Amino acid sequence: MGRYVIRRLIQAIPVLIGATLLIYCIVFALPGDPIAGLFGDKRPDPAIAEVLREQYHLNDPLLLQYWYYISGVIFRGDFGVNFANVPVSQIMAGKFQVTLNLAVTALVMEAIIGVGLGLWAALRRGKAADTLILAATLLLISVPTLVTGFVLQLVLGVKLKQWTGADIFPVAGTTEGLRSYLVPGFVLAGVSIAYLTRLTRTSLAETLRSDYIRTATAKGLPRRRVVGRHALRNALIPLVTYLGADLGQLMGGAVITETIFNLQGIGNQLFTSVHLREQPVVVGVVTILVLVYILANMIVDLLYAVLDPRIRYE
CATH of the domain at 167: 1.10.3720.10
- The confidence score (pLDDT) of residue 219 equals 67
Pair 149, 184: CB distance under 8 Å: yes
Whether 65 is in a domain gets the answer yes
Q: Looking at the structure, do residues 226 and 96 belong to the same domain, yes or no?
A: yes
CA dist 232 and 130 (Å) reads 18
CA dist 273 and 233 (Å) reads 44
Predicted confidence (pLDDT) at residue 9 exceeds the cutoff of 60: yes
Residues 6+ apart with CB under 8 A from 203: 118, 235, 238, 239
Q: Where does a domain end: 29, 48, 78?
A: 78
Q: Which residue has the higher pLDDT, 213 or 296?
A: 296
Q: Looking at the structure, do residues 62 and 136 belong to the same domain, yes or no?
A: no
Q: What is the pLDDT confidence band of residue 87, given thresholds at 50, 70 and 90?
A: confident
Predicted confidence (pLDDT) at residue 16 exceeds the cutoff of 80: no
Q: Looking at the structure, do residues 45 and 137 belong to the same domain, yes or no?
A: no
Model confidence, pTM:
0.75
Predicted confidence (pLDDT) at residue 88 exceeds the cutoff of 70: yes
Whether 57 is in a domain gets the answer yes
- The confidence score (pLDDT) of residue 159 equals 79
Pair 255, 271: CB distance under 8 Å: yes
Whether 8 is in a domain gets the answer no
Q: Looking at the structure, do residues 72 and 105 belong to the same domain, yes or no?
A: no
Question: What are the tens digits of pLDDT across the range 99-129?
Answer: 888 888 888 888 889 888 888 888 777 788 8
Amino acid at 250: L
Q: Looking at the structure, do residues 112 and 36 belong to the same domain, yes or no?
A: no
Q: Looking at the structure, do residues 69 and 207 belong to the same domain, yes or no?
A: no
Bridge partners (DSSP) of residue 81 are 87
Instruction: Taking residues 202-218, report their average pLDDT.
Output: 72
Q: Looking at the structure, do residues 133 and 268 belong to the same domain, yes or no?
A: yes
- Find the helix packing angle between 2-28 and 279-307, rounded to 10°: 150
Q: Looking at the structure, do residues 273 and 221 belong to the same domain, yes or no?
A: yes
CA dist 187 and 46 (Å) reads 47
Q: Looking at the structure, do residues 72 and 128 belong to the same domain, yes or no?
A: no
Whether 59 is in a domain gets the answer yes
Q: Looking at the structure, do residues 185 and 36 belong to the same domain, yes or no?
A: no
Whether 15 is in a domain gets the answer no
Question: What are the tens digits of pLDDT across the range 19-61?
Answer: 778 877 777 766 666 666 566 666 666 777 677 677 767 777 7
- The confidence score (pLDDT) of residue 308 equals 63
- The confidence score (pLDDT) of residue 38 equals 62
Predicted confidence (pLDDT) at residue 312 exceeds the cutoff of 60: no
Length of the chain: 314
- The confidence score (pLDDT) of residue 292 equals 80
Whether 195 is in a domain gets the answer yes
How many domains in the chain? Answer: 2
Whether 46 is in a domain gets the answer yes
For residue 256, the enclosing domain spans 91-307
- The confidence score (pLDDT) of residue 32 equals 63
Question: What are the tens digits of pLDDT across the range 150-186?
Answer: 888 888 877 777 777 666 777 776 677 777 888 888 8
Q: First-to-last CA distance in the chain?
A: 7
Whether 9 is in a domain gets the answer no
Q: Looking at the structure, do residues 233 and 301 belong to the same domain, yes or no?
A: yes
Element (H, E) at 13: helix 2-28
Q: Looking at the structure, do residues 228 and 292 belong to the same domain, yes or no?
A: yes
Q: Where does a domain end: 43, 78, 113?
A: 78
